[in-house]
Chains A and B, each alone.
Chain A
Amino acid sequence: MNDPTPSNGVSRRAFFQLFLGWLAGLFAFGASAVAAVRFLVPNVLFEPSEQFKADKPEDYLDGSVTFLEDERVFLIRNGNTFRCLSAVCTHLGCTVNRAEHGYHCPCHGSVFDDQGAVKGGPAPRALTWFLVTLSKDGRLLIDKGQPTAPDRYFVL
């Protein structure tokens, strides 16, 4: 045998075998752990989609503020520009109502101006503006996952 086994340890071959075996085994364990964690991260969500399509731009009158109940947003048209404002009060999540100028929350009395900024009441932050673009089939596409600045318009 061309592999002298020392009396107080392992031979080169044995060491290599053990090393490789452990390496592969630990790697397998690690990869399984990675797979298990990846397993737990959802690939699809069963919530209402953050993106939704409204009607075609021409369906909204100039100067209109349209409340879309299911999505809880206001769609605002001025001339050829479109914006979308969240109707969810930043205090505790009630739906705000359109007032003559601005918005009022019926739950705890928060008051917002036309730009969504807080004018009174317990709300801590301004209302969120959402990104408006055009969908492939010519309808307004709103993405509630993309907050945007109040002065960011979608221009037709």
Chain B
Amino acid sequence: MNASPLKQLWQKFQRTRIGRSIFRVGLPDSNLERSQVMVSSFLLHMQPAKVNKHSLRASYSFGLGLITLYLFFILIGTGVLLMFYYVPSTERAYDSMKDLEFVVSAGQLIRNMHRWAAHLMVLFVVLHLCRVFYTAAYKPPREFNWVLGVALMLLTLGLSFTGYLLPWDQLAYWAITVGTNISGYAPVVGPKLKYLMLGGNVVGQPALIRFYALHVMVLPAVTILMVAIHLWRVRKDGGLSRPDEPGNVVAQVELSHLPTNKTYGLMELARGTTPQVGANPEDEVFSWPHLVFREMLLFMFVVAVLLVLAIGWNAPLEQFANPIHPPNPAKAPWYFLGLQELVAHSAFWGGVGVPTLLVVTLVLLPYVDRQRRGTGRWFARERVLANTIFSICLFVAIVLTIIGSLFRGPNWSWQEPWKKPPAATESH
């Protein structure tokens, strides 16, 4: 075909020695190239060469995992930028936040994007978990990937919690005071754990610098590693779950036990599961461009939504942290409010019991669930019991969170949000 002069120029560059040293394969133009690009390109090699059409359906996955991933990338990008101005010192943190708000070009915008992306990521990680549960996508061979996902959810909460303290305003200080108090309720290890987290007995400079180190380096590094393994497993487990998967593992047969009176095709000798086993060519399309293009669109959509939020709503910054003046009520970040509501009734159950039970149940789920059927479909009939239990737990969690955020006023007393006086309930 006749390419434009610019494209011709580009192709000419690609054929030079320098060009060939950088770009091993050009933009795919043929099916062969479309198959190759996933393996030859660093940025794309996580993708499969071909993807099942069912996996592309928005109504199946809603792209929730991808959205979470994109939010993570945006958080890293905005976070790194913020690091050039934010100072993790109790004397200077708050002032550096003010500088970002007032005198740094796009400072307010980038901070807002960071804050809203953080909240959304916690939300979408939970939504993604719900999707995977309801489509029974944690069943074999994807059990370990589910466990990785639970770990990633905990890491997301940890990242959000450690970042919450950094502005060093009243909101930050007291949310973390409440949060670390809750962690101190764990039996035996609780107080020691709290001491290690805070680097002392109070929320002060040592706590701030520890939370900062965790937030900008330790937790992101661990998260990136686990995300990589998580995506790797998605590939190796056969892509997204589908209703018509060939079921479980191809029987592994020792080579010496195979009868020798016939000829074997290559796939019959392949060990373990591969994405190709049971793959029906009619259901597959090339990732380039079908998957990649959808991914890009989704990314643009996420960015657009974030920009709308960042332009329209400012991230909060309350007064400078004052250890002597707790607000009344002092509330944890929203994703912990359900726990705080429980803590108000029982410190142990809210702080230790329920969270531990939740995490343990989630981790053990794929190994305890014996039902083999129902994967790849929303609300499969065979899973009515599991889906119901899960939905009830989800509903309770949501209700507790709503109570904690809207229906609790000073002294954690019951209040109706529509009756709340407009002035802030600050104690002086």
Q: Do chains A and B touch in the complex (CB under 8 A)?
A: yes
Chain A residues close to B by CB (< 8 Å): 40-42, 45-47, 50, 91-95, 107-108, 122
Which residues of B have CB within 8 Å of A107? 328, 427
Q: Is the CB of B205 within 8 A of A108?
A: no
Which residues of A have CB within 8 Å of B196? 40-41
Q: Answer yes or no: B388 CB below 8 A from chain A CBs.
A: no
Q: Is the CB of B324 within 8 A of A108?
A: no
Write the nearest CB–CB distance from A91 to chain B, whole angstroms.
7
Q: Is the CB of B201 within 8 A of A92?
A: no
Q: Is the CB of B326 within 8 A of A92?
A: yes
Known: A107-B328, A108-B328. A94 touches B201 (CB 8 A): no
How many Å lie between the Cα of A46 and that of B206 in the bound state? Answer: 8
How many Å lie between the Cα of A108 and that of B410 in the bound state? Answer: 9
- Give 6 nearest A-B pairs by CB, closest first: A92-B326, A122-B411, A45-B200, A107-B427, A42-B199, A47-B202
Q: Is the CB of A42 within 8 A of B328?
A: no
How many Å lie between the Cα of A46 and that of B90 in the bound state? Answer: 12
How many Å lie between the Cα of A108 and that of B427 in the bound state? Answer: 8
Q: Answer yes or no: B110 CB below 8 A from chain A CBs.
A: no
Q: How large is the interface on B (under 10, 10 to 19, 20 to 34, 35 or more residues)?
A: 10 to 19
Q: Enumerate 18 A-B pairs (CB-CB under 8 Å) in ascending A order.
A: A40-B196, A41-B195, A42-B199, A42-B206, A45-B206, A46-B200, A46-B206, A47-B200, A47-B201, A50-B201, A92-B326, A92-B330, A93-B324, A94-B324, A94-B325, A107-B427, A108-B411, A122-B411
How many Å lie between the Cα of A122 and that of B329 in the bound state? Answer: 12
How many Å lie between the Cα of A50 and that of B200 in the bound state? Answer: 12
Q: Answer yes or no: B204 CB below 8 A from chain A CBs.
A: yes
Which residues of A have CB within 8 Å of B201? 45, 47, 50
Q: Is the CB of A47 within 8 A of B204?
A: yes
Q: Is the CB of A46 within 8 A of B204?
A: yes
Nearest residue, chain B, Cβ from A89: B326
Q: Is the CB of A46 within 8 A of B328?
A: no
Q: Is the CB of B328 within 8 A of A92?
A: yes
Which residues of A have CB within 8 Å of B328? 92, 107-108
**Secondary structure dominating the interface of B:** loop
Nearest residue, chain A, Cβ from B200: A45
Q: Is the CB of A91 within 8 A of B204?
A: no
Contacting residues of chain B (381-428) with chain A, CB-CB under 8 angstroms: 410-411, 427
Write the nearest CB–CB distance from A14 to chain B, whole angstroms.
27
Nearest residue, chain B, Cβ from A107: B427
Which residues of B have CB within 8 Å of A46? 200, 204-206
Q: Is the CB of A94 within 8 A of B205?
A: no
Contacting residues of chain B (160-189) with chain A, CB-CB under 8 angstroms: none
How many Å lie between the Cα of A40 and that of B193 in the bound state? Answer: 11
How many Å lie between the Cα of A107 and that of B324 in the bound state? Answer: 11
Write the nearest CB–CB distance from A92 to chain B, whole angstroms.
4
Nearest residue, chain B, Cβ from A93: B326
Write the nearest CB–CB distance from A48 to chain B, whole angstroms.
9
How many Å lie between the Cα of A94 and that of B325 in the bound state? Answer: 7
How many Å lie between the Cα of A47 and that of B208 in the bound state? Answer: 13
Write the nearest CB–CB distance from A111 to chain B, whole angstroms.
14
Q: Is the CB of B427 within 8 A of A94?
A: yes
How many Å lie between the Cα of A93 and that of B330 in the bound state? Answer: 11
Known: A108-B410, A108-B411, A108-B427. A95 touches B324 (CB 8 A): yes
Write the nearest CB–CB distance from B182 to chain A, whole angstroms.
15
Nearest residue, chain B, Cβ from A88: B324
Interface mask (B200-231 → A, CB under 8 Å = 1, otherwise 0): 11101110000000000000000000000000
Which residues of B have CB within 8 Å of A42? 199-200, 206
Nearest residue, chain B, Cβ from A92: B326
Nearest residue, chain A, Cβ from B204: A47
How many Å lie between the Cα of A95 and that of B325 in the bound state? Answer: 9
Nearest residue, chain B, Cβ from A42: B199
Write the nearest CB–CB distance from A124 to chain B, whole angstroms.
10
Which residues of A have CB within 8 Å of B427? 92, 94, 107-108
Write the nearest CB–CB distance from B180 to chain A, whole angstroms.
14
Interface mask (B311-341 → A, CB under 8 Å = 1, otherwise 0): 0000000000001111010100000000000
